[in-house]
Amino acid sequence: MLIRRGTRLDGAVLDVRVGAQISQVGKDLTPLPGEEVYDLAGGTVIPGLHDHHVHLRSAAAAETSLPVGPPQVRDRDALAGALATAQPGDDGWIRAIGYHDSVAGPLDRTTLDALAPAVPVRIQHRSGVLWILNSAGLARVGLADHPDGRLRSADSDWSGALERRDLGLADVGRRLSSYGVTGITDATPDLDVGDIVQLTELHRHGELRQRLHFLSPGKRILHDDNLDLDELAHWIAERHRCGGPVAIHCVTAAQLLVTIAALQQAGAHPRDRIEHAADTPSDCLDDLVDLGVTVVTQPNFVAERGDQYLAEIPAGEHHQLWRVASLLLAGVPVALSTDMPFGHADPWAAMRAAVHRITASGAVLGADECIPERRALMMFLGWPEHPTRVRTVEPGQPGDLCLLTAPPEAALAELDADLVAATIIGGEIVYAAG
Protein backbone atom coordinates (compact mmCIF):
# COMPACT_ATOMS: atom_id res chain seq x y z
CA MET A 1 0.00 0.00 0.00
CA LEU A 2 1.00 3.63 -0.42
CA ILE A 3 0.77 6.19 2.36
CA ARG A 4 0.59 9.73 0.98
CA ARG A 5 1.73 12.88 2.78
CA GLY A 6 2.95 11.35 6.03
CA THR A 7 5.19 13.45 8.27
CA ARG A 8 8.12 11.67 9.90
CA LEU A 9 9.38 12.71 13.32
CA ASP A 10 12.19 14.63 11.57
CA GLY A 11 9.57 16.86 9.93
CA ALA A 12 9.94 15.49 6.38
CA VAL A 13 6.62 15.12 4.55
CA LEU A 14 6.90 12.01 2.37
CA ASP A 15 5.05 9.16 0.71
CA VAL A 16 5.75 5.66 2.04
CA ARG A 17 5.27 2.45 0.07
CA VAL A 18 4.93 -0.45 2.45
CA GLY A 19 4.44 -4.21 2.28
CA ALA A 20 6.22 -6.79 4.41
CA GLN A 21 8.93 -4.11 4.50
CA ILE A 22 9.07 -0.43 3.64
CA SER A 23 10.15 -0.46 0.01
CA GLN A 24 10.11 3.23 -0.92
CA VAL A 25 10.12 6.59 0.85
CA GLY A 26 10.02 9.76 -1.21
CA LYS A 27 7.99 12.67 -2.50
CA ASP A 28 5.06 12.29 -4.90
CA LEU A 29 5.35 8.53 -5.43
CA THR A 30 3.05 7.27 -8.19
CA PRO A 31 0.48 4.68 -7.06
CA LEU A 32 0.90 1.26 -8.66
CA PRO A 33 -2.05 -0.38 -10.44
CA GLY A 34 -4.48 -1.70 -7.82
CA GLU A 35 -2.42 -0.33 -4.93
CA GLU A 36 -4.31 0.82 -1.84
CA VAL A 37 -3.67 4.49 -1.09
CA TYR A 38 -4.02 6.12 2.34
CA ASP A 39 -3.75 9.93 2.44
CA LEU A 40 -2.44 10.93 5.85
CA ALA A 41 -2.71 14.63 4.95
CA GLY A 42 0.32 15.71 6.94
CA GLY A 43 -0.29 13.51 9.98
CA THR A 44 2.59 11.67 11.60
CA VAL A 45 3.96 8.33 10.39
CA ILE A 46 6.10 6.40 12.88
CA PRO A 47 7.15 2.76 13.28
CA GLY A 48 4.52 0.69 15.03
CA LEU A 49 4.85 0.74 18.82
CA HIS A 50 6.42 -2.28 20.52
CA ASP A 51 5.42 -2.99 24.13
CA HIS A 52 8.55 -4.55 25.60
CA HIS A 53 6.98 -6.32 28.61
CA VAL A 54 3.46 -7.79 28.68
CA HIS A 55 1.73 -11.00 29.80
CA LEU A 56 -0.61 -12.26 27.10
CA ARG A 57 -2.35 -15.13 28.89
CA SER A 58 -2.94 -12.98 31.95
CA ALA A 59 -4.26 -10.17 29.77
CA ALA A 60 -6.77 -12.49 28.13
CA ALA A 61 -7.85 -13.93 31.49
CA ALA A 62 -8.17 -10.44 32.98
CA GLU A 63 -10.95 -9.70 30.48
CA THR A 64 -13.29 -11.98 32.47
CA SER A 65 -11.77 -11.68 35.95
CA LEU A 66 -13.10 -9.84 39.00
CA PRO A 67 -11.12 -6.73 40.05
CA VAL A 68 -10.62 -6.75 43.83
CA GLY A 69 -8.09 -3.98 44.39
CA PRO A 70 -7.99 -0.20 44.33
CA PRO A 71 -9.69 1.82 42.97
CA GLN A 72 -12.64 -0.57 42.49
CA VAL A 73 -12.29 -2.26 45.91
CA ARG A 74 -10.76 -0.39 48.84
CA ASP A 75 -11.72 -2.18 52.08
CA ARG A 76 -12.65 -5.55 53.59
CA ASP A 77 -16.42 -5.02 53.34
CA ALA A 78 -16.16 -4.10 49.66
CA LEU A 79 -14.01 -7.18 49.04
CA ALA A 80 -16.54 -9.44 50.77
CA GLY A 81 -19.37 -7.87 48.77
CA ALA A 82 -17.55 -8.29 45.46
CA LEU A 83 -16.82 -11.96 46.14
CA ALA A 84 -20.35 -12.67 47.42
CA THR A 85 -21.94 -11.42 44.19
CA ALA A 86 -19.37 -12.89 41.78
CA GLN A 87 -20.42 -15.72 39.51
CA PRO A 88 -17.98 -18.60 38.99
CA GLY A 89 -16.69 -19.02 35.45
CA ASP A 90 -17.27 -22.02 33.22
CA ASP A 91 -14.41 -23.77 35.02
CA GLY A 92 -16.15 -23.38 38.40
CA TRP A 93 -13.68 -20.82 39.76
CA ILE A 94 -14.07 -17.23 40.89
CA ARG A 95 -10.90 -15.66 39.49
CA ALA A 96 -10.06 -12.26 40.98
CA ILE A 97 -7.17 -9.94 40.22
CA GLY A 98 -5.46 -6.76 41.38
CA TYR A 99 -5.54 -7.37 45.14
CA HIS A 100 -3.42 -5.12 47.35
CA ASP A 101 -2.81 -5.54 51.06
CA SER A 102 -4.26 -2.08 51.74
CA VAL A 103 -7.73 -3.58 51.10
CA ALA A 104 -7.85 -6.16 53.91
CA GLY A 105 -4.27 -6.92 54.90
CA PRO A 106 -2.26 -9.96 53.75
CA LEU A 107 -4.76 -12.61 52.63
CA ASP A 108 -4.48 -16.30 53.44
CA ARG A 109 -6.82 -19.28 53.12
CA THR A 110 -8.43 -18.68 56.52
CA THR A 111 -9.26 -15.06 55.78
CA LEU A 112 -10.51 -15.96 52.32
CA ASP A 113 -12.71 -18.77 53.68
CA ALA A 114 -14.40 -16.21 55.91
CA LEU A 115 -14.87 -13.69 53.11
CA ALA A 116 -15.66 -15.81 50.07
CA PRO A 117 -18.42 -18.23 49.09
CA ALA A 118 -17.72 -21.95 49.42
CA VAL A 119 -16.64 -22.35 45.81
CA PRO A 120 -13.07 -22.41 44.48
CA VAL A 121 -11.64 -18.89 44.67
CA ARG A 122 -8.22 -17.67 43.62
CA ILE A 123 -7.09 -14.08 44.00
CA GLN A 124 -4.02 -12.69 42.30
CA HIS A 125 -1.95 -10.10 44.11
CA ARG A 126 -1.43 -6.84 42.24
CA SER A 127 2.28 -7.67 41.85
CA GLY A 128 1.37 -10.68 39.72
CA VAL A 129 3.77 -12.98 41.58
CA LEU A 130 1.34 -14.38 44.17
CA TRP A 131 -2.03 -16.13 44.23
CA ILE A 132 -4.17 -16.73 47.32
CA LEU A 133 -6.58 -19.69 47.25
CA ASN A 134 -9.40 -20.54 49.63
CA SER A 135 -9.85 -24.07 50.98
CA ALA A 136 -12.18 -25.11 48.17
CA GLY A 137 -9.65 -23.89 45.63
CA LEU A 138 -6.75 -25.64 47.35
CA ALA A 139 -8.68 -28.91 47.35
CA ARG A 140 -9.37 -28.43 43.63
CA VAL A 141 -5.64 -28.28 42.83
CA GLY A 142 -4.69 -31.13 45.17
CA LEU A 143 -3.31 -28.97 47.99
CA ALA A 144 -6.01 -29.40 50.63
CA ASP A 145 -3.40 -29.46 53.42
CA HIS A 146 -1.53 -26.34 52.30
CA PRO A 147 -0.95 -24.18 55.40
CA ASP A 148 -1.89 -20.71 54.14
CA GLY A 149 -3.04 -20.92 50.50
CA ARG A 150 -0.43 -18.38 49.34
CA LEU A 151 1.08 -19.78 46.13
CA ARG A 152 3.63 -18.32 43.77
CA SER A 153 2.47 -17.67 40.23
CA ALA A 154 5.54 -19.27 38.68
CA ASP A 155 5.09 -22.55 40.58
CA SER A 156 3.76 -25.04 38.02
CA ASP A 157 3.14 -27.67 40.72
CA TRP A 158 -0.24 -26.11 41.42
CA SER A 159 -0.95 -24.02 38.32
CA GLY A 160 -0.57 -27.09 36.12
CA ALA A 161 -3.69 -28.51 37.79
CA LEU A 162 -5.86 -25.66 36.52
CA GLU A 163 -7.94 -26.13 33.41
CA ARG A 164 -6.53 -24.26 30.44
CA ARG A 165 -8.98 -21.58 29.33
CA ASP A 166 -9.54 -20.47 25.78
CA LEU A 167 -7.12 -17.60 25.32
CA GLY A 168 -9.55 -15.23 23.60
CA LEU A 169 -6.69 -13.01 22.49
CA ALA A 170 -8.55 -11.40 19.58
CA ASP A 171 -10.03 -8.71 21.84
CA VAL A 172 -6.63 -8.03 23.41
CA GLY A 173 -5.06 -7.76 19.96
CA ARG A 174 -7.75 -5.38 18.70
CA ARG A 175 -7.27 -3.10 21.67
CA LEU A 176 -3.50 -3.08 21.16
CA SER A 177 -3.99 -2.30 17.47
CA SER A 178 -6.13 0.71 18.41
CA TYR A 179 -3.11 2.01 20.37
CA GLY A 180 -0.81 1.60 17.37
CA VAL A 181 0.96 -1.41 18.89
CA THR A 182 2.36 -3.75 16.24
CA GLY A 183 4.59 -5.94 18.41
CA ILE A 184 4.83 -7.23 21.97
CA THR A 185 7.34 -9.04 24.14
CA ASP A 186 5.72 -11.65 26.39
CA ALA A 187 7.58 -11.60 29.71
CA THR A 188 5.74 -14.51 31.36
CA PRO A 189 8.48 -16.58 33.05
CA ASP A 190 6.94 -20.06 32.93
CA LEU A 191 5.99 -20.37 29.26
CA ASP A 192 7.03 -23.73 27.87
CA VAL A 193 7.64 -24.67 24.24
CA GLY A 194 3.98 -25.68 23.83
CA ASP A 195 2.78 -22.29 25.08
CA ILE A 196 5.09 -20.44 22.72
CA VAL A 197 4.02 -22.60 19.77
CA GLN A 198 0.34 -22.01 20.59
CA LEU A 199 0.74 -18.25 20.83
CA THR A 200 2.79 -18.19 17.64
CA GLU A 201 0.06 -20.15 15.85
CA LEU A 202 -2.56 -17.65 17.02
CA HIS A 203 -0.45 -14.93 15.44
CA ARG A 204 0.08 -16.91 12.26
CA HIS A 205 -3.66 -17.53 11.86
CA GLY A 206 -4.52 -13.88 12.51
CA GLU A 207 -6.27 -14.09 15.90
CA LEU A 208 -3.50 -11.94 17.34
CA ARG A 209 -1.99 -9.65 14.72
CA GLN A 210 0.89 -8.24 16.75
CA ARG A 211 4.35 -9.71 16.18
CA LEU A 212 5.52 -11.77 19.15
CA HIS A 213 8.80 -11.97 21.01
CA PHE A 214 9.33 -14.11 24.13
CA LEU A 215 11.65 -13.76 27.13
CA SER A 216 11.00 -17.29 28.42
CA PRO A 217 12.96 -19.46 29.24
CA GLY A 218 15.45 -16.74 30.13
CA LYS A 219 13.08 -14.83 32.45
CA ARG A 220 13.42 -15.19 36.22
CA ILE A 221 11.24 -13.78 39.02
CA LEU A 222 12.96 -13.14 42.35
CA HIS A 223 11.40 -13.17 45.82
CA ASP A 224 12.82 -11.30 48.80
CA ASP A 225 12.41 -14.32 51.09
CA ASN A 226 14.56 -16.52 48.84
CA LEU A 227 17.42 -14.46 47.41
CA ASP A 228 20.21 -16.98 46.80
CA LEU A 229 23.09 -15.13 45.17
CA ASP A 230 25.15 -18.17 44.24
CA GLU A 231 22.19 -20.05 42.79
CA LEU A 232 21.14 -17.03 40.72
CA ALA A 233 24.69 -16.51 39.44
CA HIS A 234 24.88 -20.20 38.48
CA TRP A 235 21.56 -19.95 36.57
CA ILE A 236 22.74 -16.83 34.75
CA ALA A 237 26.04 -18.46 33.81
CA GLU A 238 24.23 -21.54 32.46
CA ARG A 239 21.94 -19.38 30.32
CA HIS A 240 24.92 -17.48 28.97
CA ARG A 241 26.80 -20.71 28.20
CA CYS A 242 23.83 -21.74 26.06
CA GLY A 243 24.12 -18.44 24.20
CA GLY A 244 21.03 -16.81 25.68
CA PRO A 245 20.55 -13.58 27.64
CA VAL A 246 18.62 -13.33 30.90
CA ALA A 247 15.76 -11.08 31.99
CA ILE A 248 15.38 -10.73 35.75
CA HIS A 249 12.32 -9.34 37.51
CA CYS A 250 13.42 -6.79 40.13
CA VAL A 251 10.76 -4.80 41.98
CA THR A 252 12.60 -4.25 45.28
CA ALA A 253 15.99 -2.76 46.05
CA ALA A 254 17.10 -6.08 47.59
CA GLN A 255 16.24 -7.97 44.40
CA LEU A 256 18.14 -5.45 42.30
CA LEU A 257 21.23 -5.56 44.51
CA VAL A 258 21.36 -9.36 44.41
CA THR A 259 20.81 -9.36 40.63
CA ILE A 260 23.67 -6.91 40.10
CA ALA A 261 25.95 -9.03 42.29
CA ALA A 262 24.95 -12.20 40.42
CA LEU A 263 25.59 -10.60 37.02
CA GLN A 264 28.97 -9.36 38.23
CA GLN A 265 29.80 -12.88 39.41
CA ALA A 266 28.50 -14.70 36.31
CA GLY A 267 29.46 -12.15 33.68
CA ALA A 268 27.09 -10.19 31.46
CA HIS A 269 25.54 -10.88 28.06
CA PRO A 270 24.98 -7.86 25.76
CA ARG A 271 21.21 -8.52 25.70
CA ASP A 272 20.69 -9.09 29.43
CA ARG A 273 17.70 -7.21 30.85
CA ILE A 274 16.39 -6.09 34.21
CA GLU A 275 12.61 -5.96 34.25
CA HIS A 276 10.90 -3.16 36.19
CA ALA A 277 13.75 -1.77 38.36
CA ALA A 278 10.91 -0.33 40.43
CA ASP A 279 13.20 0.64 43.34
CA THR A 280 16.71 1.65 42.27
CA PRO A 281 19.13 3.06 44.87
CA SER A 282 21.50 5.68 43.50
CA ASP A 283 24.59 3.60 44.18
CA CYS A 284 23.30 0.97 41.72
CA LEU A 285 23.52 3.27 38.70
CA ASP A 286 27.25 2.91 38.02
CA ASP A 287 27.00 -0.88 38.38
CA LEU A 288 24.19 -1.02 35.83
CA VAL A 289 26.25 1.03 33.40
CA ASP A 290 29.29 -1.20 33.88
CA LEU A 291 27.22 -4.32 33.24
CA GLY A 292 25.67 -2.88 30.08
CA VAL A 293 22.32 -4.35 31.12
CA THR A 294 19.11 -2.92 29.63
CA VAL A 295 16.39 -1.79 32.03
CA VAL A 296 12.79 -2.23 30.84
CA THR A 297 10.62 -0.19 33.16
CA GLN A 298 7.01 0.99 33.55
CA PRO A 299 6.55 4.64 34.57
CA ASN A 300 2.80 4.16 34.08
CA PHE A 301 2.77 2.82 37.64
CA VAL A 302 3.58 6.34 38.86
CA ALA A 303 0.23 7.45 37.41
CA GLU A 304 -1.65 4.30 38.39
CA ARG A 305 -0.25 3.66 41.90
CA GLY A 306 1.68 6.80 42.77
CA ASP A 307 -0.64 8.01 45.52
CA GLN A 308 -0.22 4.69 47.31
CA TYR A 309 3.56 4.99 47.01
CA LEU A 310 3.40 8.49 48.45
CA ALA A 311 1.35 7.25 51.41
CA GLU A 312 3.22 4.03 52.15
CA ILE A 313 6.87 4.54 51.16
CA PRO A 314 9.17 6.83 53.18
CA ALA A 315 9.68 10.20 51.50
CA GLY A 316 13.44 9.67 51.49
CA GLU A 317 12.99 6.78 49.06
CA HIS A 318 10.55 8.40 46.61
CA HIS A 319 13.38 9.43 44.27
CA GLN A 320 14.29 5.75 43.79
CA LEU A 321 10.89 4.74 42.39
CA TRP A 322 10.44 3.97 38.69
CA ARG A 323 13.47 5.97 37.62
CA VAL A 324 13.85 6.96 33.97
CA ALA A 325 15.76 10.23 33.55
CA SER A 326 18.53 9.39 36.03
CA LEU A 327 19.07 5.99 34.41
CA LEU A 328 19.40 7.63 30.99
CA LEU A 329 21.67 10.37 32.33
CA ALA A 330 23.96 7.76 33.90
CA GLY A 331 24.18 5.91 30.57
CA VAL A 332 21.93 2.93 31.32
CA PRO A 333 20.03 1.63 28.24
CA VAL A 334 16.30 2.01 29.01
CA ALA A 335 13.11 0.97 27.22
CA LEU A 336 9.50 1.39 28.31
CA SER A 337 6.57 -1.00 28.57
CA THR A 338 3.17 -1.26 30.26
CA ASP A 339 3.32 -4.65 32.06
CA MET A 340 -0.20 -5.36 30.73
CA PRO A 341 -2.47 -6.48 32.43
CA PHE A 342 -0.80 -5.55 35.74
CA GLY A 343 -0.49 -2.06 34.31
CA HIS A 344 -2.94 -0.43 31.91
CA ALA A 345 -2.28 -1.53 28.33
CA ASP A 346 -2.20 1.97 26.78
CA PRO A 347 1.46 2.81 25.93
CA TRP A 348 0.54 6.46 25.33
CA ALA A 349 -0.52 6.74 28.98
CA ALA A 350 2.85 5.25 29.95
CA MET A 351 4.59 7.88 27.80
CA ARG A 352 2.63 10.68 29.47
CA ALA A 353 3.55 9.28 32.88
CA ALA A 354 7.23 9.27 31.90
CA VAL A 355 6.95 12.90 30.82
CA HIS A 356 4.84 14.32 33.67
CA ARG A 357 4.96 11.75 36.54
CA ILE A 358 1.57 12.93 37.84
CA THR A 359 -0.39 10.65 40.17
CA ALA A 360 -4.16 10.20 40.09
CA SER A 361 -4.58 12.91 42.76
CA GLY A 362 -2.46 15.39 40.82
CA ALA A 363 0.73 15.06 42.89
CA VAL A 364 4.11 14.75 41.17
CA LEU A 365 6.25 11.76 42.13
CA GLY A 366 9.92 12.09 41.23
CA ALA A 367 9.96 15.32 39.25
CA ASP A 368 13.67 14.85 38.49
CA GLU A 369 12.83 11.64 36.59
CA CYS A 370 10.69 13.37 33.92
CA ILE A 371 11.86 12.95 30.33
CA PRO A 372 11.03 14.84 27.10
CA GLU A 373 8.03 13.76 25.01
CA ARG A 374 10.08 12.69 21.99
CA ARG A 375 12.32 10.50 24.13
CA ALA A 376 9.31 8.84 25.76
CA LEU A 377 7.82 7.96 22.36
CA MET A 378 11.09 6.60 21.02
CA MET A 379 11.37 4.25 24.00
CA PHE A 380 8.41 2.32 22.55
CA LEU A 381 9.97 2.14 19.07
CA GLY A 382 12.79 -0.32 19.77
CA TRP A 383 13.45 -3.69 18.16
CA PRO A 384 12.22 -6.70 20.18
CA GLU A 385 15.72 -8.16 20.64
CA HIS A 386 17.33 -4.73 21.07
CA PRO A 387 14.76 -2.56 22.86
CA THR A 388 16.84 0.61 22.81
CA ARG A 389 17.73 0.43 19.10
CA VAL A 390 15.04 2.61 17.51
CA ARG A 391 13.29 1.53 14.29
CA THR A 392 12.81 4.16 11.59
CA VAL A 393 10.58 4.94 8.59
CA GLU A 394 13.10 4.06 5.88
CA PRO A 395 13.39 1.48 3.09
CA GLY A 396 14.27 -1.97 4.38
CA GLN A 397 12.61 -1.44 7.77
CA PRO A 398 9.64 -3.62 8.80
CA GLY A 399 6.29 -2.81 7.21
CA ASP A 400 4.72 -2.09 10.60
CA LEU A 401 3.59 1.50 11.07
CA CYS A 402 1.45 3.70 13.28
CA LEU A 403 -0.31 6.63 11.61
CA LEU A 404 -1.38 9.63 13.68
CA THR A 405 -3.91 12.29 12.75
CA ALA A 406 -1.73 15.17 13.96
CA PRO A 407 1.70 16.35 12.79
CA PRO A 408 4.67 15.49 15.03
CA GLU A 409 4.81 18.51 17.35
CA ALA A 410 1.08 18.34 18.09
CA ALA A 411 1.21 14.56 18.52
CA LEU A 412 4.15 14.82 20.92
CA ALA A 413 2.38 17.51 22.93
CA GLU A 414 -0.61 15.22 23.50
CA LEU A 415 0.79 11.65 23.45
CA ASP A 416 -2.75 10.33 23.25
CA ALA A 417 -4.07 7.08 21.78
CA ASP A 418 -7.01 9.00 20.34
CA LEU A 419 -4.59 10.37 17.73
CA VAL A 420 -4.04 6.92 16.21
CA ALA A 421 -5.58 7.04 12.73
CA ALA A 422 -4.47 3.61 11.54
CA THR A 423 -2.18 0.72 12.42
CA ILE A 424 -0.38 -1.21 9.71
CA ILE A 425 1.26 -4.62 10.13
CA GLY A 426 3.12 -6.13 7.20
CA GLY A 427 1.66 -3.55 4.83
CA GLU A 428 -1.93 -4.30 5.83
CA ILE A 429 -4.24 -2.03 7.79
CA VAL A 430 -5.29 -3.88 10.95
CA TYR A 431 -6.95 -0.89 12.62
CA ALA A 432 -8.50 2.28 11.25
CA ALA A 433 -10.13 4.87 13.50
CA GLY A 434 -13.83 5.29 12.90
- Tens-place pLDDT, residues 296-307: 999 999 999 999
Q: Write the pLDDT tens digit of every residue in 356-390.
A: 999 999 999 999 999 999 999 999 999 999 999 99
pLDDT band at 44 (very low <50, low <70, confident <90, very high): very high
Quote the CA–CA distance of 15 and 333 in Å, as a whole number.
Answer: 32
CATH topology of domain 58-160: Diaminopimelate Epimerase; Chain A, domain 1 (3.10.310)
Share of the chain above pLDDT 90, in %: 92
Per-residue b or e along 182-207, where b marks 16 or more CB atoms closer than 10 Å to that residue's CB: bbbbbbbbbbeeebbeebeebbeeeb
Q: Which CATH number fits domain 218-390: 3.20.20.140, 3.40.50.620, 1.10.10.10, 3.90.1150.10?
A: 3.20.20.140
- pLDDT of res. 163: 77
3-state SS class at 248: strand
Closest CA to 125 of 115, 116, 137, 133: 133
pLDDT at 332: 98
Q: Is the pLDDT of residue 180 over 80?
A: yes
| 391 pLDDT tier (thresholds 50, 70, 90) | very high
Query: From its phi and psi, is residue 54 left (phi > 0), alpha (psi between -120 and 50) or beta?
Result: beta
CA distance to 7, 299, 344, per residue, from 358 (Å): 30, 10, 15
Domain boundary assignment for the chain: 1-48+391-433, 58-160, 218-390
Confidence of residue 51 (pLDDT cuts 50, 70, 90): very high
Right CATH for 1-48+391-433 from 2.30.40.10, 2.60.40.420, 3.40.50.300, 2.40.110.10: 2.30.40.10
- pLDDT at position 167 is 67
Tell which residue, 367, 369, 389, has the closest CA to residue 380: 389
Around Cβ 297, how many Cβ atoms within 10 Å? 28
